[in-house]
Amino acid sequence: MNVSYERVSTIKQDERRQEISLESYKIDKRYIDKASGKNADRIQLSKLMLDVTKGDNIYIESISRLGRNVDDLRKLCDYFVDKGVKVHFIKEGFTTEGNMYKFMLTILSAVGEMEREVLVERVREGMQKAQKFGTKSGIPIGRPAAQLPKDFEKYYKRWISKEITGTEFAKLLGVGRPTMYRYIKSYEK
């Protein structure tokens, strides 16, 4: 029997990319998890482990879909090999047939684990910057505050004392009324 194992990290993500990469294989049954790959405690993975029998083939789009932890990946592959099941990693182009897979799995999964750690660290840094700057991205939002025109204060005082109208105030500044009101708001802070 040919089965596939597909995994996406969140419920919002879609597994179609993996499904497309597996189209050229005759898949009898699909196992799909919507869970993190940081550990092997996943419902569909557990079902897959129980369901497969000697002579079955498991097709997986890439190593990272099976897991992101080197030790978990080794244990999972060893489990399937001991059960007489061959695992095919499509993207990386190797299977668990023979002993070379152990080397490939160790190297490639170590790179995947490192990528995940770097990603987590970048997210953590971004969150710290966001807290520091008071924004979601860590970068101040919007345009920088506009510089008030040279004679703003002089015309502002005349407008406040009702010597000139808002329309006249805006014309003297050389801007539209909405811009004039933004200047006033900025000035009065």
Query: Annotated catalytic sites, by residue?
Result: 9
Closest residue by Cα to residue 71 from 96, 39, 47: 39
Q: How far is CA 33 from CA 4, 10, 56, 92, 103, in A?
A: 11, 9, 20, 21, 26
**How many C-beta atoms lie closer than 10 Å to residue 98's C-beta?**
9
Nearest to 31 by CA among 56, 154, 133, 116: 56
Give whole-number Cα distances, 116 to 34, 66, 185, in Å: 17, 14, 46
The C-alpha atoms of residue 161 and residue 158 are separated, in whole angstroms, by: 5
The DSSP bridge partners found for residue 5 are 31, 60
